[in-house]
Amino acid sequence: MTARTPKGTAAQTGAAPRGRGPSAQAAHRAERDGSDGAFIVPGLPARGRVPPVRRLVMVLGDQLDAGSAAFDDFDPARDAVFMAEVPEESRYVPGSRARSTLFLSAMRHFAQALAERGWRVHYQRLDDRAATDTLAEALQAAVDALVPGECVMVEPGEWRLREAFSRHRAAPRLLPDRHFLCSHEQFAAHAKGRRQLRMEFFYREMRERHRVLMDGETPAGGQWNYDAENRKAFGAAGPGAVPPRAGVAPDAITREVIALLASRLPDQPGHAERFDWPVTRAQAQAALAAFIEQRLPAFGDFQDAMWTGEPWLFHAHIAAALNLKLLDPREVVAAAEAAWRAGRAPLPAVEGFIRQVLGWREYVRGIYWRAMPGYLEANALDARQPLPAFYWSGEVPMACLREAIGQSLAFGYAHHIQRLMVTGLYALLLGAVPREVHAWYLSVYVDAVEWVEAPNTLGMALYADGGVMASKPYAATGRYIERMSNYCRGCRFDPAKSTGEDACPFTTLYWDFLVRHRATLSRNVRMALQLKNLARLDAAALSAIAARAHAIRANDGVPPGAGTTATSTGADADTAATPGIAPATDAPGASPRPRGRARATSAGTRPTNRRLFE
């Protein structure tokens, strides 16, 4: 695969800026190595006080791509760039502190790099006196002030914004997004004539088209999919030495953003005290290099494993940089393949990682645009339970949820199995309203943009789309979590039990889920074994399960009498005082109950051929 050559900013290409001499060189060094520097990009001028603008390029917060079509033929002498921070984008869902910090800081760094290159850039800050409330209003203000000959922008990645700009009176010319490896037209051609879409077939097509992990006309290693060799759990001793995360200390621009959000949006969920996400292309490239070198070799084996107090493990942590377009998927895929061909990473790990980028990421985008605008209202299972309040606090007695939600609020991050098979699974079994669950995922995670988040949440986690994304609901008992983590060791609930005060709510709600949806699920051949096991339960057991499930729902998703266990604190400087990042100790009032690694049973469906979110 050949990576695109970015045409835009020095910050994107790594080249020194042109046209500004030593000061530009210093600014480039500051952007490159993350050193401090004030944000100095000006806002909009008064109408008529600026030279004529031939073309106004509007750049959104997830379009920080110097190689985008919007910058083709950009003339610094006649053209201008406009970017805007607006309250609506942190309000239409309650954006978390970490997510908002990432977007605003990355936007400011990108704008500053353009300005230091000698390009004319105007930037609306959240706290500007004349700041508008929405992006559409911001564009109109820019047009009124700059009176451009035309407006251009890359098509927004979200239906809501594409519709707003398509109807905008400034009539911006929407350009295709070249960041992606599969265009809208190519995905439509793939889908044409197929009764049912499945990622595996799309992924193989993408491998062949882009010549990724191919040896001639055959897949590398002789097979397309190495899922069966991946997805191992850790042993009893845990993950061992985990490579350090390639975090970036906040510079002056990021610190200013953190302070601004604390002042302007004090009620945002989550935290930014430990914010260390890449906010420039150079930082994102360093994070990619660190992953390839340090964590990719073990990624395949342990990509599904979870461990208390270990939020980062062997994952890449680059989804946010990809989704903001700081990284190009071509360079990410090429770096992973090169590591295998050089003997620095095993093929199963590399294939599993490339599957996420070349397969799932492109596939969910295709599903999103094919299914919108009605996709956000999907509710095939008629789920009506309000999302429990503990999703916003992490204060919950179930250890796995406390861990996964706690780290999500602390860092804006959880890996794909924590999202699918802990927070997502519980929402599925509980019957939480899909739109509310979607809003939570979109709010909390730094990498969440709607085109990738919605299909993963509504389709994969909740089966709300009735099978568009997944061939069956990923329903499981607490035994799956027990097998893939050590969370159950420090929990008062027993994943082997479905009734009684110490029964795991996942297990109780799993059987109740099968009962409530038996008629629908019976039409799905992939659910036959699970329904066969359900048929073995007698009337007394089913009655007890139904009663306990009802009590859990009536108590905001928590077993009555279990309380709302305070969020745990860690055992060292990296995890102390972080909600949900806890050592493997038991919840108050219960004794530890070590368990072995139970084998998967039909009651705990092991997810296969799926990767999401990151």
- C-alpha distances (whole Å) from 127 to each of 43, 200, 205, 562 are 11, 47, 47, 44
- Split at pLDDT 50, 70, 90, the class of 246 is confident
For the chain, residues classed under CATH 1.10.579.10 are: 386-554
What is the average pLDDT value for the chain, to the nearest integer? 87
Q: Which of 90-94, 453-457, 610-614 has the lowest mean pLDDT?
A: 610-614
Mean pLDDT of the 10-35 span: 38
What is the rounded CA–CA span in Å between residue 468 and residue 255? 42
The answer to whether the CB of 28 falls within 8 A of the CB of 85 is no
What is the rounded CA–CA span in Å between residue 485 and residue 272? 27
Q: For tokens 């400087």, what's the residue? A: 573
Using alpha carbons, select from 205, 151, 157 the residue that is nearest to residue 180: 157
Task: Write down the CATH number for the domain with range 214-371.
Answer: 1.25.40.80
Using alpha carbons, select from 550, 548, 509, 515 the residue that is nearest to residue 531: 515
Mean pLDDT of the 440-466 span: 97
Note the pLDDT of residue 544: 98
Mean pLDDT of the 153-159 span: 96
pLDDT digits (tens, 9 = 90+) for 489-545: 989 999 999 999 999 999 999 999 999 999 999 999 999 999 999 999 999 999 999
pLDDT digits (tens, 9 = 90+) for 330-344: 999 999 999 999 999
Residue 281 pLDDT > 60: yes
β-strands 150-154, 55-58: how paired?
A: parallel
What is the rounded CA–CA span in Å between residue 15 and residue 459? 42
Q: Side chain identity at 321, as an amino acid letter?
A: A
What is the rounded CA–CA span in Å between residue 400 and residue 308? 8
What is the rounded CA–CA span in Å between residue 105 and residue 250? 9
- Tokens for 254, please give them: 């990021």
Note the pLDDT of residue 552: 98
Mean pLDDT of the 205-213 span: 98
Top-confidence residue, 345 or 35: 345
Residue 583 pLDDT > 90: no
pLDDT digits (tens, 9 = 90+) for 599-608: 333 344 434 3
| DSSP states along 347-358 | HHHHHHHHIIII
- Split at pLDDT 50, 70, 90, the class of 577 is very low
For the chain, residues classed under CATH 1.25.40.80 are: 214-371
pLDDT digits (tens, 9 = 90+) for 45-83: 877 677 889 999 999 999 999 999 999 999 999 999 999
What is the rounded CA–CA span in Å between residue 512 and residue 218? 45
- C-alpha distances (whole Å) from 276 to each of 142, 267, 280 are 32, 21, 12
Using alpha carbons, select from 420, 361, 414, 378 the residue that is nearest to residue 605: 420
Cα 345 from chain centre: 25
What is the rounded CA–CA span in Å between residue 114 and residue 41? 9
Note the pLDDT of residue 37: 67
The CATH H-level (homologous superfamily) assignment of domain 10-175 is: HUPs (3.40.50.620)
Cα dihedral sign, 14-20-21-27: negative
The answer to whether the CB of 399 falls within 8 A of the CB of 490 is yes
What are residue 83's phi and psi, to 5 degrees?
-135, 155
pTM (two decimals): 0.87
Note the pLDDT of residue 463: 98
Residue 456 pLDDT > 70: yes
Note the pLDDT of residue 36: 54
pLDDT digits (tens, 9 = 90+) for 473-494: 999 999 999 999 999 998 999 9
Note the pLDDT of residue 50: 76
Note the pLDDT of residue 30: 41
Note the pLDDT of residue 340: 98
Top-confidence residue, 537 or 7: 537
| DSSP states along 523-542 | T-GGGHHHHHHHTTS-HHHH
Note the pLDDT of residue 231: 84
What is the rounded CA–CA span in Å between residue 257 and residue 551? 44
Note the pLDDT of residue 3: 57
pLDDT digits (tens, 9 = 90+) for 361-394: 999 999 999 999 999 999 999 999 999 999 999 9
DSSP 609: S
Note the pLDDT of residue 48: 65
Give the domain 386-554 fold.
Answer: DNA Cyclobutane Dipyrimidine Photolyase, subunit A; domain 3 (1.10.579)
Residue 324 pLDDT > 60: yes
Note the pLDDT of residue 519: 97
Note the pLDDT of residue 85: 96
Residue 563 pLDDT > 80: no
| Residue 100: HSE in the Cβ half-sphere, 13 Å Cα cutoff | 32
For the chain, residues classed under CATH 3.40.50.620 are: 10-175
Q: Could you tell me which residues are beta bridge partners of residue 84?
A: 124
Instruction: Tell me how many degrees the CA angle 143-149-152 measures, rounded to the nearest 5.
Output: 70
